[in-house]
Amino acid sequence: METEDRRPLSALTIAGSDSGGGAGIQADLKTFAAHRVHGLSALAALTAQNTRGVTAIHVPPVEFLRAQIDACFADFRIHAVKLGMLANASVIHAVADALWVHRPAHVVVDPVMVATSGARLLEPAALDALRERLFPLATVLTPNLPEAELLLGREIPDEAAAREALRALLELGAKAVLLKGGHLPGTGARVDWFGDGTQVVAHSHPTLNVNGHGTGCTLASAIAARLCLGDPLPEACRAATDYVHGALRHAYRPGSSEVSVLDPFWRDGPSPV
């Protein structure tokens, strides 16, 4: 007779660290915690980073990355995996190999390529590996417009082009795409488009005059957390966009630059001062 597995559903982030605490692994774990979901991490890259920019990147050996991933799956009941900064093709292949073995229920792919500061976080040669190995595993892909332009090799200047890009991104293999439209000029609202091949849903929020750091990481990890809580994918994406808007509305500046860090615990009380 099988015994009931009483372990809570956990979310695993495989991404890069942010020594400044505003993005990457640090933002992911805070977001999981804010949703009351147990968070796990496997560091695919380490950055020397603050609100002013990225000054150095170190990529650990892929054998160590695989050891981290295997250790997490050996002990925890992982329901959703969030992928962020994976740096190069070797890292992408190692992650894909591990996911093919462990087969988590959900994989949220945030194709991190360029930091807010402009620093390149993905080697150009890794684009093909990203498309070929990870997109077919993705429950949902969450690119912003500049990332979508790099993936598709074309500009996305307006909403019509964004909707066409959504269809083209789906053809790359992911089950669904949440295309983040915050970089689109000339709109009074931030619009994110969700598509899964049967529907396209626009999630609109008022534009905030905030230079936010870590929005993409927070959004993808919020989707993973909502999936662990049992939301269907369209609802998980809607709830995650609402959550990020609130975290951005309560953002604060812990550093000396004009960059603001999202408050993942904005529902629990005042932001840090």
> Cβ–Cβ contacts within 10 Å for residue 67, how many?
14
Q: Give the model's pLDDT for residue 185.
A: 66
Distances (CA, A) of 122 to 1, 29, 73, 115, 150: 48, 22, 26, 10, 11
Q: Give the model's pLDDT for residue 114.
A: 66
Q: Give the model's pLDDT for residue 268.
A: 84
Q: Note the maximum CA span of the chain.
A: 62
Question: Domains in the chain, please, with CATH?
Answer: 9-261 (3.40.1190.20)
Is residue 192 within 8 A of residue 181, CB to CB? The reply is: yes
Q: Give the model's pLDDT for residue 209.
A: 86
Q: Give the model's pLDDT for residue 182.
A: 73
Q: Are strands 260-261 and 212-213 parallel, antiparallel or unpaired?
A: parallel
Is residue 96 within 8 A of residue 104, CB to CB? The reply is: no
Q: Give the model's pLDDT for residue 270.
A: 73
Distances (CA, A) of 207 to 182, 183, 192: 8, 11, 12
Q: Are strands 200-206 and 189-195 parallel, antiparallel or unpaired?
A: antiparallel
Q: Which residues contact 64 (CB under 8 A, 6 or more apart)?
A: none
- Residue 196: phi, psi to the nearest 5? -130, 15
Cα(199)–Cα(163) distance, integer angstroms:
11
Which own/partner contact pairs does 158-161 have at CB distance under 8 Å and 24+ positions apart? 158/184, 158/186, 159/184, 159/187, 159/191
Instruction: Quote the pTM value.
Output: 0.94
Distances (CA, A) of 269 to 39, 131, 222, 248, 263: 21, 40, 19, 14, 10
* pLDDT tens digits in sequence order for the chain, 273 residues long: 567 899 999 999 999 999 999 999 999 999 999 999 999 999 999 999 999 988 999 999 999 999 999 999 999 999 999 999 998 999 999 999 999 999 999 999 999 876 555 556 677 778 889 999 999 999 999 999 989 998 999 999 888 999 999 999 999 999 999 999 876 766 577 899 999 999 999 999 998 888 888 999 999 999 999 999 999 999 999 999 999 999 999 999 999 999 999 999 999 877 666
Is residue 237 within 8 A of residue 221, CB to CB? The reply is: no
Beta bridge partners of 193: 179, 202
Q: Give the model's pLDDT for residue 3.
A: 79
Amino acid, single-letter form, for residue 265: F
> Cβ–Cβ contacts within 10 Å for residue 75, how many?
11
The half-sphere exposure of 117 on its side-chain side, counting CA atoms within 13 A, is: 20
Angle between helices 159-170 and 145-152 in degrees, nearest 10:
60
